[in-house]
């Protein structure tokens, strides 16, 4: 593990607690003291040279500064053995760019964890243009050893998760900047409306349940009323034109039988009840006070729209 910051400590702890022997490289002494204080069994502080010598897989998790990563990767490429898998926890930088810094780029992949690393199940395994099947298999096996659910994605800006979550953040910021809502109101709405649904099903399954004709109509209205950052979707419109309206039509982004449609609804509703009950119970004990407490938005007022710069 190269990098002992927030993500590096979380990833290395998850791997060590899965029974793996983890060597962690962290030159900053204050951060190294935090690692020592956590005293995770199976995790050992080492130098970069000692850590890469004989390592099966190296995960880099330093700051998201492109040139700092490139410089480190050039050093890693010179120290690691030719068969050592080199993975990066980068959340946005190009895997192909990092692979270009080392020999044998087929051994390079992205391994994007999410904070808190010990709790979040998903790990994006990013396949670059040169990444081999053996490399993907090795990264998958490591993620599964730690109890994670790896998903293969292509090398593209932000991969998948960050494209989605930062699209949401960008729109949340616009709502506040335009005076539509306060940050507390936005957070309350997300937590108590579609947020719990997304803990149960992804956007495509949710759209199939809601009706693709309904979603297409709303997307058009948003495009007309809010702006071009809500572009029309050719794929969505094609589904609607062909009568693939979702669960109610037996076909949408997926195909459904009456039994599978009923099972999907039952799964959503049953799991959603459990999620809402858990979140409600935790809110009563964990967020009673402070700016993000449940109900904090009740008395909040939205700001006036921010004036545009001349």
Residue 83: give its domain's CATH number.
3.40.50.720
Tell me: do 111 and 179 sit in the same domain: no
Tell me: do 126 and 207 sit in the same domain: no
Q: How many domains does the chain have?
A: 2
Q: How far apart are CA 39 and CA 48, in angstroms?
A: 20
In a domain, 41, yes or no: yes
In a domain, 212, yes or no: yes
In a domain, 300, yes or no: no
In a domain, 279, yes or no: yes
In a domain, 302, yes or no: no
Tell me: do 147 and 256 sit in the same domain: no
Tell me: do 60 and 15 sit in the same domain: yes
Tell me: do 199 and 129 sit in the same domain: no
Indicate the residue among 105, 125, 154 that finishes a domain: 154
Q: How many CB atoms sit inside 10 A of residue 246's CB?
A: 26
**Radius of gyration for the alpha carbons in the chain, expressed in angstroms and rounded:** 23
CATH number for position 240: 1.10.1040.10
CB 201 within 8 A of CB 233: no
Tell me: do 81 and 210 sit in the same domain: no
Tell me: do 122 and 18 sit in the same domain: yes
- Give the alpha-carbon dihedral of 106, 2, 17, 148, to 10 degrees: -40
Q: How far apart are CA 302 and CA 13, in angstroms?
A: 42
pLDDT of 297 reads 59
Indicate the residue among 95, 123, 154 that finishes a domain: 154
Indicate the residue among 154, 178, 206 that finishes a domain: 154
Which class for 310: exposed (0-12), middle (13-18), buried (19 or more C-beta within 10 A)?
Answer: exposed
Task: Round to the nearest angstrom and report the end-to-end CA distance of the chain.
Answer: 48
Low-confidence ranges of the chain (pLDDT < 50): 299, 305-310
In a domain, 291, yes or no: no
Could you tell me which of 96, 97, 126, 98 has the C-alpha nearest to residue 113?
126
Tell me: do 45 and 119 sit in the same domain: yes
Tell me: do 109 and 207 sit in the same domain: no
Helix (H, G, I), strand (E, B) or coil at 223: helix
Tell me: do 200 and 126 sit in the same domain: no
Helix (H, G, I), strand (E, B) or coil at 25: strand
Q: Where in the sequence is the domain holding 170, given as residue range(s)? A: 161-286
Helix (H, G, I), strand (E, B) or coil at 46: strand
Tell me: do 180 and 63 sit in the same domain: no
In a domain, 307, yes or no: no
Tell me: do 198 and 101 sit in the same domain: no
Annotate 165-181 with b (16+ C-beta within 10 A) or e (fewer).
eeeeeeebeebbeeeeb
In a domain, 124, yes or no: yes
């Amino acid at each position: 593990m190269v990098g002992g910051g927030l993500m590096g400590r979380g990833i290395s702890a998850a791997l060590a607690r899965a029974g793996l022997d983890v060597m962690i490289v962290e030159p900053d002494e204050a951060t190294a003291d935090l690692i020592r204080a956590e005293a995770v069994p199976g995790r050992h502080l080492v130098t970069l040279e000692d850590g890469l010598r004989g390592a099966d897989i190296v995960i880099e998790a330093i700051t998201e500064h492109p040139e700092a990563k490139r410089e480190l990767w050039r050093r890693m490429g010179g120290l690691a053995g030719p068969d050592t898998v080199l993975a990066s926890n980068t959340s946005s930088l190009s895997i192909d760019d990092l692979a270009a810094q080392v020999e044998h780029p087929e051994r390079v992949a992205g391994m994007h964890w999410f904070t808190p690393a010990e709790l979040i199940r998903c790990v994006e395994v990013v396949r670059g243009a040169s990444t081999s099947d053996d490399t993907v298999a090795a990264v998958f096996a490591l993620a599964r050893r730690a109890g994670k659910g790896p998903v293969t994605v292509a090398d593209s800006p932000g991969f998948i998760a960050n494209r989605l979550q930062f699209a949401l953040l960008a729109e949340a910021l616009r709502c506040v900047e335009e005076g539509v809502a306060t940050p507390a109101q936005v957070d309350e709405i997300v937590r108590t409306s579609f947020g719990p649904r997304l803990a149960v099903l992804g956007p495509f399954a949710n759209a199939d349940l809601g009706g693709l004709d309904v979603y297409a109509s709303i997307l058009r209205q948003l495009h007309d009323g809010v702006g071009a950052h809500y572009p029309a979707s050719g794929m969505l419109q094609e589904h609607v034109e062909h009568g693939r309206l979702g669960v109610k039509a037996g076909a949408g982004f997926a195909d459904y039988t009456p039994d599978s449609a009923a099972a999907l609804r039952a799964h959503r509703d049953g799991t959603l009840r459990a999620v809402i009950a858990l979140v409600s119970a935790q809110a009563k004990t964990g967020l009673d006070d402070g700016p993000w407490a449940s109900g904090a938005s009740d008395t909040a007022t939205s700001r006036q729209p921010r004036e545009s710069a001349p």
